[in-house]
Amino acid sequence: MKKSLLLLTLASLALASCGTLEITLDVTSTPTVVVSTVTPLPDTPAPPPPPTFTAIPRLTLDELANAKFHSVSIKEDEADFRFEDGLYFLPEQAQGWGGDWYVRLLMDRIAFGDLDADGIDDAAAIFESKRGGSGLFRELAVVLNRGGSPVNVASVYLGDRVGILSISIDHGVILLDMLVHGSYDPMLGPSVEKLFRYQWNGTALVPLD
């Protein structure tokens, strides 16, 4: 026991002779820099703008009443004309007839529907011409919608003083419910009701019956 105390005493004296012992802990550590490598995403191209559709205006009764038409029953040098409010006065004829010479659009006998399969409504119209005497010659006209403008592409002769009961368009086919003359009917009194069908084939207006 005495020997142990002696050793501790000698150790204490040795420390004292060396001065003050300072122990410093370096708590400052070198920061670790982590470099993150991020691969940039490629630029995403902007989506193309949506297509622009220009709506084609529908044909109107007023446009038809002031459009150009062609007749297959009027003589060739007068067959092309333009209506004004649904009426066109023919030039004075050399035959010396008195009375009215005109072509008139029947405003209550016009149908609208797609006739050339382009998804746009066209028109089928009836007009009549009076050229002296008691005759009243009626024709069916196909009027296509070309960019919003009426274009008469074909006409067919229907007859003298035939009755037009109704006109319609069904899946590109023109339906005409008419009164035509029977064997003993006077010209002023057609009595036979008959349905006629016509179709525009791209170049002509053709009967289907």
DSSP annotation of 119: S
Q: pLDDT per residue over 9-52, tens digit each?
A: 555 544 445 444 454 545 455 555 555 566 666 777 778 777 66
Q: pLDDT per residue over 47-73, tens digit each?
A: 877 766 678 899 999 999 999 999 999
Distance from C-alpha of 162 to C-alpha of 198, rounded to nearest angstrom: 17
The rounded percent of the chain whose pLDDT value lies above 90 is: 59
- Average pLDDT score over residue span 137-163: 97
Length of the chain: 209
pLDDT band at residue 131 under the 50/70/90 scheme:
confident
CA angle 33, 34, 35 (to 5 degrees): 110
Please say whether the beta carbons of 139 and 158 come within 8 A.
yes
- 64 contact partners, CB below 8 Å, separation of at least 6: 83, 105, 110, 123, 125, 143, 150
Average pLDDT, the chain: 83
Distance from C-alpha of 32 to C-alpha of 180, rounded to nearest angstrom: 105
pLDDT value at position 127? Answer: 98
Write down the domain spans for the chain.
Answer: 61-164
